[in-house]
Chain A
């Protein structure tokens, strides 16, 4: 046990350690240093029990989940963590109106058109039961495994008083976490650093002595150049490395770089609503556009080779990933600008000239001008925009781009309502709703839960809460319902459903899925115990400093 491990980060700080009030990933990541959840995954998606004493028991009908927690978990005052704390956290905090937990939907289900919470029941000191009325094979992965309790004996003091709960010192300074995690809160200087210190009582460390660092510090930097300089100088032990810097750091003595897959994908969304270019409503036109954008060049030149081509929304490391029958636009035979022009001609958007060439124009014979919207402040999205402009320019389609701040993009381009109606702006106000500003394409990046991808339905089903682009396919809607039903309890059946969804979405091309980017993670050479992969850090309590010769 020695040394301080410093992870350099360039980006925003967490919002709160009182995680029930948080919605940003950094807050969960900071707080998560001090307590585990019920279970976690490794890079091969094997489940590792954490606060669970044994795997969650699921009844044959898939409706009842019996959760048994370890009996050696303790709060900081020495009292045991019991199933009652979990039941209280769920029923009195997460499901409550007064607290308004941002991710309540994870614990809700649709029953006869009504949204209801799952039922939770205490069984004994270490056991509680969760009952659903509808089957969801991914409920364990989406909700249960990530559950962690608040101490009932403290939370009760603040129950019903949001202001007091928000300002509660115990929750904001994580003074209650006992032996629940590898570290204990030490210090948080906003916009500077978050420091946790080794927890000698860590429930998983009693035999192994883990964790092996005395302190684990997350240090915030104002620029990515400053983080990389700190790694190079040896002032920090770990940070992410931008693709264009990887070659330099790989050659550097004393530094090792791991390239790991991520759960993100970048894509160009087509506006299928009424204020997008009319041609985009034609599937063959969308296919032709995607056929004109070379994914390999995109990956090589813009992602510096650190990405895999994407054709749908499920990333390669997911057990549900398939390429079978999925159309691969932008790669191989399906990257073909001449063929794209032929398709556009056939759809009525071109003329064959006397020399046999095809000139592309809209149905009135005017040049096609598409508006591509992207967020300001990101070199990557600006590069993507220029690349798309160039690729589509080659087939005779002009692309104008609009760089707008994220709040503007959200409110004026993504949120929509039916014109003239009294509707409040929302991300999907039905098929006739349109955004305030017209647009045709948008550069974005989304995430998929590799084990439980059904959450992504929010983007792809007709009434999905984030389906701002207006995509609709009845069969896709049906499959996203069935993937959360009893028949999908059989993994083979579920795999076939995801395969069909992937095929349908790839064929429909509501968006040009560009790539699944990898991330590059640099470490000082003496950091050992790392298990590189998509879940890098899943075992961070086992990392240690090796003595260098």
Chain B
């Protein structure tokens, strides 16, 4: 494909991303600030005789965070601060928002990355193997387990894994230990159960897709030609079938990635006590900590846009017939 065509395409997508970011900030801000809740609500969460004058307490808190100003002014103040690179102060955690994200993104990132690797590599391999061995016992077993994998809710799987492997067998801690060095075997071990929990459903899905995509391709003429030319089966499958079968699965993996970033990892983080962005955003939503919610929503949106862009670029590499000019 023409290099200029792809470059223009990327530039167009980046402009598009900027507009979407603006939209995300505006919509999230409006939704959070016009709702009935106030960040000051938590001050009355446990009604206490200490709160002799609740109205005064609420006023004090709202004044402290500038929430007593008109919403439109709050919105413009927020935008001006954003333009200056100030993402705001998280009043539910007493940290600058950007510092809060900096401290927590890595926990979500490692969980999501390992889960995606686990799910996609195993899922695709099993799917292709299952297709090649269609209607054999191996195929039936793979199909059976992939249906189970798709059906099991991951919160249930997580709890069961903890009960069996942590409580009964004592092989793992019942929760993720943030004290472990990030790049260590111990950390990798601590992530085994969360990765299985988050990755099993996705892996089962990829197995199904990979199986059916491989079966489609096995019937194509180019496979027959390859076989007729006397190429070994390993080369036919590994080179010709695999490269074509993987294309639709990449789209699905990218969609899943967006879904996981937007909340799919949250339940796993809750079950294993992983302080990732899922938990941070969940708590921020309940605390009406809007600077945090907006920032994390924006990050999620950017990840989706970036993954879509990456998918498009990967397509051109995998299938040179695809062009964007």
**Chain A residues close to B by CB (< 8 Å):** 12-13, 15-18, 21, 23-25, 100-106, 162, 166-167, 172, 189-193, 219-223, 225-226, 229-230, 232-233, 235, 406-408, 410-412, 424, 426-427, 444, 446-449, 455-459, 465-466
Contact = CB atoms under 8 A, between A and B. Distances in A.
B37 interface: yes
Nearest to B176: A192
A455 B50 contact: yes
A24 B52 contact: no
A410 B58 CA distance: 12
A456 B49 contact: yes
B95 interface: yes
Given A23-B61, A222-B279, A18 B94 contact: yes
A455 B49 contact: yes
Contacts of A13: 93, 283
B175 A230 contact: yes
Given A172-B94, A222-B271, A427-B54, A449 B162 contact: no
A105 B51 CA distance: 8
Interface in B114-163: 159, 162-163
Q: Taking chain A's interface residues, is the majority helix, strand, or loop, or is none over half, making it mixed?
A: mixed
Contact of B37 (A102, A193, A407): A407
Interface stretch (B39-47, B235-243, B301-309): B39-47
A221 B55 contact: no
Given A102-B61, A189-B275, A446 B49 contact: yes
B93 A226 contact: no
Contact of B49 (A193, A221, A410, A447): A447
Nearest to A167: B89
Contacts of A21: 64, 94
Nearest to A190: B93
Interface in B272-290: 272-275, 279-280, 283, 286-287
Nearest to B174: A230
Q: Which 3 A-B pairs have the closest CB atoms?
A: A222-B270, A455-B49, A192-B275
Nearest to B40: A23
Nearest to A25: B46
Contact of A23 (B43, B100, B166): B43
B174 A233 contact: yes
A102 B52 CA distance: 10
B46 A219 contact: no
Contacts of A406: 41, 45
Interface string B57-84: 1001101100000000000000000000
Interface of B: 36-38, 41-57, 60-61, 63-64, 89, 91-96, 100, 103-104, 159, 162-163, 166-167, 170, 173-175, 178, 269-275, 279-280, 283, 286-287
A25 B37 CA distance: 20
Contacts of B270: 222-223, 226
A190 B95 CA distance: 10
Given A190-B100, A235-B173, 10 more contacts: A15-B93, A104-B56, A105-B52, A167-B89, A190-B280, A223-B271, A225-B159, A230-B174, A232-B167, A407-B41
Output the residue of B45, B50, B104, B166 with the most chain A CB within 10 A: B50
Given A221-B175, A411-B36, A465 B162 contact: no
B55 A424 contact: yes
B162 A226 contact: yes
A455 B48 CA distance: 9
Contacts of B178: 189, 192-193
24 contacts: A15-B92, A21-B64, A21-B94, A23-B43, A100-B60, A166-B94, A189-B103, A191-B275, A222-B270, A226-B162, A226-B175, A229-B163, A229-B167, A235-B166, A407-B36, A408-B36, A412-B36, A424-B55, A426-B54, A458-B52, A459-B49, A465-B52, A465-B54, A466-B47
Contacts of B159: 225-226
A13 B36 CA distance: 23
A242 B46 CA distance: 19
Nearest to A454: B49
Q: Which of B47, B56, B173 has the most CB atoms of chain A within a 10 A radius of its CB?
A: B47
B283 A226 contact: no
A444 B47 contact: yes
Pick the most buried of A16, A189, A190: most chain B CB atoms within 10 A of its CB: A190
A229 B174 contact: yes
Question: Counting chain B CB atoms within 10 Å of each CB, which of A219, A229, A232, A447 scores highest?
Answer: A229
Name the residue among A104, A105, A226 with the largest chain B CB count within 10 angstroms.
A226
Contact of A100 (B47, B51, B63, B283): B63
Contacts of B175: 219, 221, 226, 230, 235
B279 A233 contact: no
Given A100-B60, A221-B273, A466-B54, A190 B103 contact: yes
Nearest to A231: B174
Contacts of A106: 50, 52
A449 B51 CA distance: 12
A345 to B, nearest CB: 36
B174 A24 contact: no
A222 B269 contact: yes
B49 A448 contact: yes
Contact of B51 (A18, A193, A411, A465): A465
B52 A455 contact: yes
Which of B55, B163, B269, B287 is the most central at the interface, judged by chain A CB atoms within 10 Å of its CB?
Answer: B55
Given A190-B95, A190-B104, A446-B47, A162 B64 contact: yes
Contacts of A162: 64
A103 to B, nearest CB: 6
Contacts of A189: 103, 178, 275
A313 to B, nearest CB: 9
Contact of B94 (A17, A222, A223, A466): A17
A448 B47 CA distance: 10
Contacts of A455: 49-50, 52
A100 B275 contact: no
Contacts of B279: 191, 222
Contacts of B163: 229
Contacts of B273: 192, 219-222, 226
Contacts of A100: 60, 63-64
A12 B280 CA distance: 11
A166 B36 contact: no
